[in-house]
């Protein structure tokens, strides 16, 4: 083979490796969650718990568990439990107890339980086989 043919063969091989890496391997980014308390503009002095994610995510399940003495018990009853109903819409931020398009309560008609001020909780999210969690503490409304 001539030198020019070897260069073209090398470039073709490099291109095929790039296509394979892009479409047939997946590096899944974990879901990063931030929890923050924000003033509710509709209610005088009330606070709402906001969760923000690192990217737009199509959630398949969402659960909030109470922590028992600071320890996570996955068998505990979740205070908020949503599962995918239809094709979930990409979401980057949501409030505790908010309706999320494409998700429905795991038990029909059940809404999010109110959070106990001072208690610790864990939010567990799943988007397909990618998961993430964040521990947070419930706050009381300011006086």
- Confidence at residue 141, expressed as pLDDT on a 0 to 100 scale: 61
Domains identified in the chain, total number:
1
Across residues 30-49, what is the average pLDDT? 84
User: For residue 19, is it within any domain?
Assistant: no
- Confidence at residue 27, expressed as pLDDT on a 0 to 100 scale: 67
Angle at 94 between CA 30 and CA 114, to 5 degrees: 110
- Confidence at residue 42, expressed as pLDDT on a 0 to 100 scale: 78
Per-residue pLDDT at 4 exceeds 90: no
Q: How far apart are CA 53 and CA 1, in angstroms?
A: 54
Q: What is the domain extent for residue 74? A: 33-137
Across residues 112-121, what is the average pLDDT? 90
Q: Confidence class of residue 109 from pLDDT cuts 50, 70 and 90?
A: confident
Per-residue pLDDT at 94 exceeds 90: yes
User: For residue 102, is it within any domain?
Assistant: yes
User: For residue 74, is it within any domain?
Assistant: yes
Contact at 8 Å (CB) between 89 and 98? no
How far is C-alpha 102 from the chain's CA centre? 14
């Amino acid at each position: 083979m001539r030198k020019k043919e070897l260069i073209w063969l090398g470039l073709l091989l490099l291109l095929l490796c790039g296509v394979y890496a892009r479409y047939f391997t997946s590096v899944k980014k974990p879901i990063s969650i931030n929890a923050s308390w924000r003033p509710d503009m509709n209610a005088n002095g009330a606070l709402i718990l906001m969760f923000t994610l690192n990217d737009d995510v199509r959630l398949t399940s969402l659960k909030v568990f109470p922590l028992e003495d600071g320890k996570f018990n996955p068998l505990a009853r979740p205070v908020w439990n949503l599962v995918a109903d239809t094709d979930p819409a990409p979401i980057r931020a949501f409030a505790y107890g908010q309706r999320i398009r494409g998700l429905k309560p795991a038990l029909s008609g059940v809404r999010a339980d109110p959070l106990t001020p001072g208690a610790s909780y864990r939010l567990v999210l799943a988007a397909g086989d990618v998961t993430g969690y964040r521990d947070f503490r419930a706050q009381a409304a300011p006086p």
